[in-house]
Structure 1
Amino acid sequence: MTTQHLKTPLEMLYHWETTQPDAIYLRQPVDGVFHDYSWYETGQQVRRLASALIAQNFDPGSHIAILSKNCAEWFIADLAIMMAGHISVPIYATAGQETIQYVLNHSNCQAIFIGKLDDTINQCDAIPEHVKRLGFPYPNIEKNNLKLDYHWAELQAQPPHPGNPVPALTDTMTIIYTSGSTGNPKGVVNTFGSYAFASQQFVDTMGFTTQDRALSYLPLAHITERTVVEGSSFYCGCEIAFVENLDTFVDNLKAVSPTLFLSVPRLWTRFQMGVLAKMPPKKLNTLLSIPLINKIVAKKIRQQLGLDSARVFGSGSAPLSPATIRWYQRIGVNITEAWGMSETNALGTNCHPFRADKIGSIGKAYPGVELRIASDGEIQVRGEFLMKEYYLEPDKTAEVFTDDGFLKTGDKGEIDNEGYVKITGRLKEIFKTAKGKYVAPVPIEAKLMENPLIEQVCVTGTNLKQPIALVVLAEDAKQHDHEHINSSLERTLEKTNRSLESHAVLDGLLIVQEAWTPDNGLLTPTLKIRRHLLEGRYHEEIARPISSAISWL
Structure 2
Amino acid sequence: MSTNAKLPLDMLYQWENNHKDRLYMTQPMGDGTVDEFTWGRAVDEARRMAAYLKSLDLPEKSRVGIISKNCAHWIMTDWAIWLAGHISVPLYPMLNADTVNYVLNHAGCEVLFVGKLDDWPSMKPGVPESVRCISYPLSPPNNYETWNTIVAGNEPLQGNPVRDAEELATIVYTSGSTGRPKGVMLSFDNMAFAAEGGIKTLNVGPDERMLSYLPMAHVFERTFVELGSLYAGFQLFFAESLDTFVQDLQRARPTLFLSVPRLWVKFQHGVLQKVPKHKLDRLLKIPLVNKLIKKKVLKNLGLDQVKLAGSGSAPLSHDVLDWYRNLGLELLEGYGMSENFAYSHMNKPGRTRTGYVGEALPGVETRISEQGEVQVKSPATMMGYYKDDEKTVEAFTEDGFLRTGDKGEIDEMGRLKLTGRLKEIFKTSKGKYIAPAKLENLLMAHESIEVCCVSGANQTQPFAMVMLNEELRPLVQDDAALKKEIEDSLKQLIQDIHKQVDPHEQLAFIIVMQDEWTIENSFLTPTLKLKRNVVEDTYQQKVDAWYGQKKPVIWQ
* TM-score for the superposition, normalised by structure 2: 0.96
Select which of 393, 409, 417 maps to 1:414. 409
Aligned pair partner of 1:368 in 346, 356, 363? 363
The equivalences for 1:181-196 within 5 A come to: 181-196=177-192
Tell me what 2:386 maps to. Answer: 391
Q: Find the aligned partners of 2:295 and 2:530 in 1 and give their Cα distance.
A: 34
Task: Quote the Cα distance in structure 1 between the aligned partners of 2:136 and 2:484.
Answer: 51
Does structure 1 conserve the Cα–Cα contact (< 8 Å) formed by 2:113 and 2:135? yes
The question of 1:254 aligning with 2:250 is answered yes
Q: Structure 2 residue aligned with 1:239, among 229, 235, 238?
A: 235
| Counterpart code for 2:232 | C
Match of 2:73 in 1: 73
Give the residue type in structure 2 aligned to 1:309: Q
Q: How does 1:16-95 map to 2 (within 5 A)?
A: 16-30=15-29, 31-95=31-95
Question: Which residue number in structure 2 is paired with residue 2 of structure 1?
Answer: 2
Aligned equivalent of 2:10: 11
* Aligned position for 2:176: 180
Secondary structure of residue in 1 paired with 2:184: strand
* Aligned twin of 1:320: 316
Secondary structure of 2:492's aligned partner: helix
- After TM superposition, list the pairs within 5 Å mapping 1:192-203 onto structure 2: 192-203=188-199
Render the CA deviation track for 1:221-260: whole Å, top value 9, x for unaligned: 0000000111101100111110111211110110110011
The equivalent residue for 1:135 is: 135
How far did 1:501 drift?
2.3
Of the candidates 521, 546, 552, which is equivalent to residue 549 of structure 1?
552
Match for residue 280 of structure 2? 284
Q: Quick one: which amino acid aligns to residue 261 of structure 1?
A: F
Residue pairs, 1:192-231, within 5 angstroms:
192-231=188-227
Q: Deviations over 1:394-445 (max 9, x none)?
A: 0100001001110000000000111111100000111122223221100110
Q: Read off the aligned partner of 2:313 and give its amino acid letter.
A: S
What is the alpha-carbon distance in structure 2 between the residues aligned to residue 476 and residue 490 of structure 1?
21
* 2:399 paired with 1:404: yes
Which moved further from structure 2: 411-420 or 543-552?
543-552
SS at match of 2:521: coil
Identify unmatched segments of 5+ residues in structure 2: none
- Deviation larger for 514-523 or 170-179: 514-523
C-alpha contact (below 8 Å) 1:67/1:114 kept by paired residues? yes
Per-residue deviation, 1:355: 4.2
Distance 2:517 2:21 in 1: 45
Contact 2:117 2:139 (C-alpha < 8 Å) held by counterparts: no
Could you report, residue by residue, the CA deviation over 1:198-233 in whole angstroms, capped at 9, with x for unpaired residues?
Answer: 011110011110101110100000000000111101
* Preserved CA contact (<8 Å) 2:115 2:139: no
**Of 332, 339, 342, which residue of structure 1 is paired with 2:335?**
339
SS at match of 1:106: helix
Aligned-partner SS, 1:267: helix
Match of 1:247, SS?
coil
**CA contact 2:114–2:139 (8 Å) conserved in 1:** no
Give the C-alpha shift of residue 2 in structure 1: 2.0
Name the TM-score, length of structure 1 as normaliser: 0.97
What is the deviation of 1:192? 0.2
Q: Which amino acid aligns with 1:255?
A: R
User: CA contact under 8 A between 1:224 and 1:346: conserved in structure 2?
Assistant: yes
Report matched runs for 1:340-489 at 5 Å: 340-355=336-351, 358-477=353-472, 478=475, 481-489=482-490
Relative to structure 1, the CA distance from residue 116 to residue 476 in structure 2 (aligned partners, 3 Å threshold; closer, same or farther) is closer
Aligned equivalent of 2:147: 152
Letter in 1 for 2:365: E
Secondary structure at the aligned position of 1:410 is classed as strand
Q: CA deviation at 1:502?
A: 2.5
> For 1:220, what is the secondary structure of its paired residue?
coil
**Contact 2:101/2:127 (<8 A) preserved:** yes
Contact 1:175/1:188 (<8 A) preserved: yes
**Residue 302 (structure 1) aligns with:** 298
Residue 496 of structure 1 corresponds to 497
Tell me if the contact between 2:25 and 2:36 (Cα under 8 Å) persists in the aligned partners: yes
Q: Return the alpha-carbon distance in structure 2 between the equivalents of residues 15 and 124 of structure 1.
A: 38
Q: Deviations over 1:328-363 (max 9, x none)?
A: 11211111110000001101111121446x011101
* SS across alignment from 1:458: strand
Residues matched between the structures, number:
546
- Give the AA of the match of 1:211: D
- Could you list the runs of 5+ residues in structure 1 that have no partner in the other structure? none
Native 8 Å contact 1:277 1:476 kept in 2: no
Q: How is 1:107-122 mapped onto 2 (pairs within 5 angstroms)?
A: 107-122=107-122
Counterpart secondary structure, 2:418 = strand
User: What SS class does the counterpart of residue 375 from structure 2 fall into?
Assistant: strand
Matched to 2:235, the amino acid is: E
Amino acid in the other structure paired with 1:540: Q
Contact 1:335 1:354 in 2 (8 A): no
Q: Kindly indicate whether the alpha-carbon contact (under 8 Å) linking 2:330 and 2:349 is maintained by their aligned counterparts in 1.
A: no
Matched residue of 1:481: which SS?
helix
Q: How many angstroms apart in 2 are the aligned matches of 1:39 and 1:18?
A: 9
